[in-house]
C-alpha cells in the first residue's frame, strides 16, 4: 500500500521515474498496458501542443484570457487516467490534460476560452463539471456529488483538482471536513505548482507539506512527484480503489511547477527568477515520460515526430473553425441548460430576452 507507506509528516514523496525517465522504484511501478501508456503520452503531448499554440493565439489578440498548463501535464493525466468512464471529474480552470483524457473535445475547450457558453456544455456521457474559476469552490461541489453517490448507493468516484493557493481558502477545509465526516468517495488532487499567481508556496502556509493537511480531517494524505506520470497514476489508482471500496477520501499533493504564466494576464518575471524556471524545466514531465517509452520500445522517435505534426495541424484547424463561428452566440443561450426546470426569476428573464430576439434585434 503506497499511501500508507509514505508519510507526509516525514517529507516522503512518491517517485517512480527520475528526471531521466529511469525507474527508481520497481516495487511500486504500476502495471499499465502498453496501449494505455501510449494513450497517456499522446494526451500529454496533445496538451502541450494545444497549450503552446493557444498561448500564441492569445498573444496575437485572437482569443480571450487563457490559463496555461505547461509543466503540469503529468499531474493531470497521471491522475485522471486512474479513474473510469462512470467516475466524475471536477476541475478548477487549469486542467486541460484532464479534460481531454476524460472526453471533452478541443472544440468545446476553445469555445470556452473564446467566451462562448457552449464551451461549458459537455456531452451527457462525459461526466465533467464546467470550469470553476472561484478558487476552491469546486471542492464542495465534488463532495456533494460524492455524498449523492453514497445516498444513491452507486459506485462512482469523484476526482477533483485544486491549486496550492486553494488550500488557503475556507472551501478547501470545508470540503475535506465534510468528506471525512461522511466518508465520501472523493480523491482530491492539489496541483502544487509552487505559485498562487505571485504568492510563493513558501509563504502560502507554514505546513511542511500540503498533503499533511489531510491529517486534521482524519483522511490519508500523500505527497507525489507531480512531474512523474507513473507515480501520479499509481497513487491515484490506489486512492480510487479505496474510495470505491467505501474506505473514504484521499488527499494527494502533486509537486509540480507552472512553467508558464498564471494566465495570459500575468507576467511571472516580476516575481520569480529565470534560474528557478530553468531548474524545473530539467524535470519536464513530457520529456521524462517520452524517454521511458522510447527506452521500452513502446514509442519510436518517428512516431513521436509524426504525432507532433498531426497534433499541430489539428490544433490549427480546430482554432480556425472556432475563430469563424465561436462568436455566433446569443445572450439567450445562457438560460438553456443550467437547470432541468428553470426557476421563476430566470424564466422571467428568459422570456424577456426571447421577445427581444424575436423582435429582430441582436
SS3 per-residue string spanning 323-357: HHHCCCCCHHHHHCCCCCCCCHHHHHHHHHHHHHH
State in Å, rounded, how far the first CA of the chain is from the last one.
60
**289 neighbors 78 (Cβ within 8 angstroms):** no
CA distance 142 to 146: 6
Based on the residue annotation, tell me whether 258 is a catalytic residue of this protein: yes
Q: Which of 280, 283, 224 lies closest to 251, judged by CA?
A: 224
Catalytic option among 258, 288, 292, 311: 258
Based on the residue annotation, tell me whether 271 is a catalytic residue of this protein: yes
**221 neighbors 67 (Cβ within 8 angstroms):** no
Q: What is the grid cell recorded at 32?
A: 499499465
Catalytic option among 59, 271, 337, 339: 271
CA distance 93 to 146: 20
Based on the residue annotation, tell me whether 141 is a catalytic residue of this protein: no
- What is the CB neighbour count within 10 angstroms for residue 313? 11
CA distance 279 to 325: 41
SS3 per-residue string spanning 14-78: ECCECCCCCECCHHHCCCCCHHHHHHHHHHHHHHHHHHHHHHHHHHCCCCCCCCCCCCCHHHHHH
Q: What is the grid cell recorded at 283?
A: 524535470
**66 neighbors 187 (Cβ within 8 angstroms):** no
Catalytic option among 48, 94, 242, 262: 262
Which residues are annotated as catalytic?
Answer: 258, 262, 271
Amino acid at each position: 500500500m503506497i499511501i500508507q507507506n509514505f508519510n507526509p509528516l516525514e517529507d516522503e514523496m512518491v517517485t517512480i521515474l527520475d528526471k531521466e525517465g529511469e525507474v527508481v522504484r520497481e516495487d511500486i511501478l504500476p502495471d499499465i498496458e502498453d496501449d494505455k501508456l501510449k494513450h497517456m503520452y499522446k494526451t500529454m503531448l496533445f496538451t502541450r501542443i494545444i497549450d503552446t499554440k493557444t498561448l500564441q493565439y492569445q498573444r496575437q489578440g485572437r482569443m480571450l484570457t487563457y490559463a496555461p498548463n505547461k509543466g503540469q501535464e503529468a499531474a493531470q493525466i497521471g491522475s485522471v487516467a486512474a479513474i473510469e468512464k462512470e467516475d466524475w471529474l471536477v476541475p478548477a480552470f487549469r486542467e486541460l490534460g484532464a479534460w481531454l483524457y476524460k472526453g471533452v473535445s478541443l472544440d468545446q475547450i476553445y469555445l470556452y476560452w473564446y467566451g462562448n457558453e457552449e464551451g461549458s456544455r459537455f456531452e451527457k456521457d462525459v461526466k465533467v463539471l464546467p470550469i470553476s474559476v472561484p478558487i476552491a469552490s469546486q471542492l464542495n461541489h465534488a463532495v456533494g456529488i460524492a455524498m449523492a453517490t453514497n445516498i444513491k448507493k452507486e459506485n462512482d468516484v469523484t476526482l477533483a483538482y485544486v491549486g496550492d493557493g486553494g488550500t488557503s481558502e475556507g472551501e478547501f477545509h470545508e470540503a475535506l471536513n465534510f468528506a471525512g465526516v461522511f466518508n465520501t468517495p472523493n480523491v482530491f488532487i492539489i496541483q502544487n505548482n509552487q505559485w498562487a499567481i505571485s504568492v510563493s508556496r513558501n509563504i502560502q502556509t507554514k505546513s511542511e507539506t500540503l498533503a499533511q493537511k489531510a491529517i486534521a480531517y482524519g483522511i490519508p494524505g500523500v505527497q507525489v512527484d507531480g512531474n512523474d506520470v507513473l507515480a501520479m497514476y499509481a497513487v491515484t489508482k490506489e486512492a480510487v480503489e479505496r474510495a470505491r471500496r467505501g474506505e473514504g477520501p484521499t488527499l494527494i499533493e502533486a509537486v509540480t511547477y507552472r512553467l508558464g504564466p498564471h494566465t495570459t494576464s500575468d507576467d511571472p518575471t516580476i516575481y520569480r527568477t529565470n534560474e528557478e524556471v530553468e531548474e524545473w524545466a530539467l524535470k519536464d514531465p513530457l520529456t521524462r515520460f517520452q524517454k521511458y517509452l522510447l527506452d521500452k520500445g513502446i514509442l519510436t522517435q518517428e512516431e513521436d515526430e509524426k504525432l507532433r505534426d498531426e497534433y499541430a495541424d489539428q490544433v490549427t484547424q480546430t482554432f480556425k473553425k472556432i475563430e469563424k463561428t465561436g462568436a455566433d452566440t446569443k445572450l439567450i443561450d445562457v438560460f438553456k441548460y443550467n437547470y432541468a426546470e428553470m426557476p421563476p426569476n430566470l424564466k422571467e428573464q428568459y422570456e424577456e430576452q426571447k421577445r427581444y430576439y424575436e423582435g429582430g434585434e441582436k
